[in-house]
Chain A
Amino acid sequence: MAQRVVAIIAALIVAGLVIGPVTAVLWRGGGFTALSAADLAALRFTVWQAFWSASVSVVLAVPVARALARRAFWGRGALISVMGAPFILPVIVAILGLLAVFGGNGFVNVVLDPLGVPKLDIYGAHGVILAHVFFNLPLAVRMILQGWLAIPAERFRVAATLGAPVFSVLEWPMLRRVMPSAFAVIFVICLGSFAVALTLGGGPRTTTVELAIYQAFKFDFDLSKAASLAVVQLALGLSAGLVALLLARGDLLGAGFDRVVARWDGSRVLDGLWIGLAAVFLLAPLAAIFLAGVVGLGELPSSVWGASARSVGIALGAVVLTMALALPLATKAGEAASLLGISVSGLVLGTGIFLIVQPYVRPSEVALPVTMLVNVLMALPFVLRILRPGVESARADFGRLGQSLGLRGWTLWRIVYLPRLRRQMGFAAGLTGALAMGDLGVITLFSRPGQGTLPLLMYDLMGRYQMGAAYGAALVLVALSMGIFWAFDRGGRANAVV
């Protein structure tokens, strides 16, 4: 009972943090505005590209995750960690990294050109999807890999003994459960795309809803329009969440170990090929960014220290808050509700929070807490995706046992559940911390000089013609994000019960 109350409170907090600001903007804007033909065209393209970006990411992630699940090789853990980096890159840096490989003067064209192969043109709808796959494939791989690792090794052995087809008996039921939610999360992230869609789309053909919001806010100061579009985003995000819930029905699986399961099926060569292709696709742009960043390190201003400290502080604070909200919300409904947070434009969220706090405090005083809060909202869907299966199986397997000992509430969590969730919690905390290092553009109404975060510092440098130093700042950002991710992820694995 008490548990349910805590869950409801957590859900209300999340909903309030999203719906409150949107309502405030809507209120201030004086209600809804009808959408124009251009808005509807932007909406169509937004949904279209999000659908294909999410589909391609999830479908490609399946063979990669399976290969990673059943092949042990030197550097496997490091590869999985580094492959996650695109997701936390500042958007513009990721774009420049991709262009270093796929752009007009990029590596691919430099190699293909002498061979007489026609030039690869990355700009267009395919470029948008390619970039979104670059960002989200690692996420999809991690989420699906978790599903594979959650299948107990014994079941594979049993299947082998009985000669049962592994795919239809074990893997397909797991994929049916995991893929819809992975798809939903990525779909919703891509709904908010703006700079990627515009830059790699090549022009106004690839206008998204987020650009319309930006325009309404910055140029027209049309809050009603901005809020109306944000409500459309909310509706889309929520629908995606509900569809995923409906599709993802299935039985719970037992807890697994993060160990490569010795398997007799599948081709080594094919698995190696999938891992290799994914690694090259994800790591080549990262390598370009790394090289540019190393060169730029020497040009970094001393303010990079303060900015790094603030960013790390925000990240650690976000981890604590996210975990506190996520544990009670680790249910199907909670996972669907959490999609609210990533569906809404950061610009609208920031404006709404500004309107709410402004009568009481100076907005610049709360710039960092607000950034942290918005990061918590953004991280929640990923964290729940990671934690929910573990929480549910822990409840199913040990809940009654614990209660038979008279353990209840927090004690039950502390003694029975949490030790069994260490691995997932470590991964989730790492991801939250890494994500929260990034900036979401909410801070622009709140900032004052000298309290910027690393991403702000990077954009500042870029705006000052200092591209080299900006790459250096991006490298520091990625290194710190990876460090935080690695520390939590490792910490969770060490001495974990399962």
Chain B
Amino acid sequence: MKQTLLTVAGLFCASAVAAQVEVLTVYAPDYFGSEWGPGPSIETAFEAQCGCDLQYQTGDLLPRLLLEGERTEADVAIGFNSDITKRARESGLFAPHGLDLSPLTLPIEWDDDTFLPFNYGHTAFIYDNTKLDGFDSFEALLNAPDDVRVVIQDPRSSISGLALVLWVNAVYGDEAEAAWARLAPKIVTVTQGWSESYGLFTDGEADVVLSYTTSPAYHIIAEEDLTKSAAIFEEGHYFMVELAAKLAGTDNPELADQFMAFILTEEFQTMIPTTNWSFPAALSEDKWPEGFQSLPMPETVLFYDENEAAALRDEAIEAWRSALSQ
């Protein structure tokens, strides 16, 4: 009983202390805040320098912010994809970050004053290099025999699936539907999200899976498995970037600014590769983990900015839908 009272008293004291510390509320996707994601180590590192309490709220990022509108408790939101920033920007919920972007090491120009990149990757087809020779171009994949089984994600429900239809659009333009028609016989199935596709691939149900150029790094670093490779296409790869933004209505603007600035620091950036399995957005290549440095990188990077992507989206999805519905 005494023990219980002491514990209860202890809890009260702890919460009294906590109440005095300023809280920075960060909205993030589930994968970011999970125990294997970058969230926990970033929290520890940032709390050590700000003397504040960083709290994550995880889940669907943009839908939740749009539902909450100006009443949101978020100070910072991290984990946007460049293909949905247009909708986010139009909401007027976000404020300029005011940061110098020269530390960025992205393969493309980036001068957005609101959405700040923290990591990136490219869409790529992953295969088992003990079973297939790989493909050096999109054409080679389209010309592959029809018994090569490919699994992709649905552009209507998955961000990587959407990136794929934009990729095909960037490579084939008006011929996108014809390209899809050539790929169609090889597509075993289309899944709702990335996890399902990758599960089918690792279970042997598919030979080739739509994923990212960084996927082999996971197998190399975490599993010491060198059999998974990304096929690097000469036509180029679609660029995918993840972004953070400060809320205009934050009641803690200084802490929010401090966190935004923290994103570009080496301390933050070195945590990214092996927790989010992506390339850090502001870190020179010699500081990447070894498994990342050795990854083959695409020579050409294809990218539509948010306005182009929004304008092309419906048409690109329709080309996919119509070719795969035959």
Once the chains are docked, how many angstroms separate the CA of A212 from the CA of B203? 28
The smallest beta-carbon distance between B65 and chain A, in angstroms, is 10
The smallest beta-carbon distance between B190 and chain A, in angstroms, is 5
Question: Which listed residue (B59, B73, B154) contacts A198, Cβ 8 A?
Answer: B154
Task: Decide: A204 and B190 in contact? CB cutoff 8 A.
Answer: yes
Once the chains are docked, how many angstroms separate the CA of A96 from the CA of B200? 7
Once the chains are docked, how many angstroms separate the CA of A214 from the CA of B158? 10
The segment out of B2-10, B28-36, B117-125, B290-298 that lies at the interface is B28-36
Task: Decide: A198 and B190 in contact? CB cutoff 8 A.
Answer: yes
Once the chains are docked, how many angstroms separate the CA of A462 from the CA of B190? 17
Task: Decide: A446 and B59 in contact? CB cutoff 8 A.
Answer: yes
B115 at the interface (CB under 8 A from A): no
Indicate whether A195 sits within 8 Å of B67 (C-beta atoms), given known contacts A211-B156, A449-B58, A460-B30: no
Indicate whether A445 sits within 8 Å of B64 (C-beta atoms), given known contacts A92-B199, A96-B200, A199-B196: yes
Most chain B CB neighbours (cut-off 10 Å) among A201, A211, A358, A449: A449
The smallest beta-carbon distance between B208 and chain A, in angstroms, is 13
Q: Which residue of A has the minimal Cβ distance to B35?
A: A303
B13 at the interface (CB under 8 A from A): no
B321 at the interface (CB under 8 A from A): yes
Please report which residues of chain B, range 79-94, place their CB below 8 angstroms from some CB of chain A when the two chains form the complex: 84, 87
Most chain B CB neighbours (cut-off 10 Å) among A219, A358, A460: A219
The 0/1 profile, CB within 8 Å of B marked 1, for residues 171-213 of chain A is 0000000000000000000000011001111111101000110
Task: Decide: B196 and A195 in contact? CB cutoff 8 A.
Answer: yes
Task: Decide: B36 and A460 in contact? CB cutoff 8 A.
Answer: yes
Question: Which listed residue (A199, A203, A362) contacts B324, Cβ 8 A?
Answer: A203
Q: Which residue of A has the minimal Cβ distance to B73?
A: A362
Task: Decide: B203 and A204 in contact? CB cutoff 8 A.
Answer: no
Q: Which residue of A has the minimal Cβ distance to B36?
A: A464
B116 at the interface (CB under 8 A from A): no
Task: Decide: B63 and A217 in contact? CB cutoff 8 A.
Answer: yes
- Complex interface: chain B residues within 8 A of A467 (CB): 198-199, 202-203
A241 at the interface (CB under 8 A from B): no
- Complex interface: chain B residues within 8 A of A449 (CB): 33-35, 39-40, 56, 58
Most chain A CB neighbours (cut-off 10 Å) among B33, B184, B194: B33
Please report which residues of chain A, range 357-382, place their CB below 8 angstroms from some CB of chain B when the two chains form the complex: 358-359, 362, 364
B139 at the interface (CB under 8 A from A): no
Once the chains are docked, how many angstroms separate the CA of A92 from the CA of B199? 9
- Complex interface: chain B residues within 8 A of A212 (CB): 156
Please report which residues of chain A, range 85-144, place their CB below 8 angstroms from some CB of chain B when the two chains form the complex: 92, 95-96, 99-100, 103-105, 123
Task: Decide: A211 and B157 in contact? CB cutoff 8 A.
Answer: yes
B232 at the interface (CB under 8 A from A): no
Once the chains are docked, how many angstroms separate the CA of A301 from the CA of B40? 15
A170 at the interface (CB under 8 A from B): no
- Complex interface: chain B residues within 8 A of A464 (CB): 31, 34, 36-37
Task: Decide: B33 and A202 in contact? CB cutoff 8 A.
Answer: no
Q: Which residue of B has the minimal Cβ distance to A221?
A: B66
Given contacts A202-B189, A214-B192, A465-B198, 18 further A-B pairs with CB under 8 A are: A38-B321, A105-B204, A198-B157, A198-B189, A199-B191, A202-B187, A204-B325, A221-B63, A301-B36, A355-B67, A364-B57, A444-B59, A448-B57, A448-B59, A449-B34, A463-B31, A464-B31, A465-B219
Q: Which residues of B contact A (CB under 8 A)?
A: 30-31, 33-37, 39-40, 55-60, 62-64, 66-68, 71, 73, 84, 87, 149, 154, 156-157, 162, 184, 187-192, 194-196, 198-200, 202-205, 215, 218-219, 222, 277, 320-321, 324-325
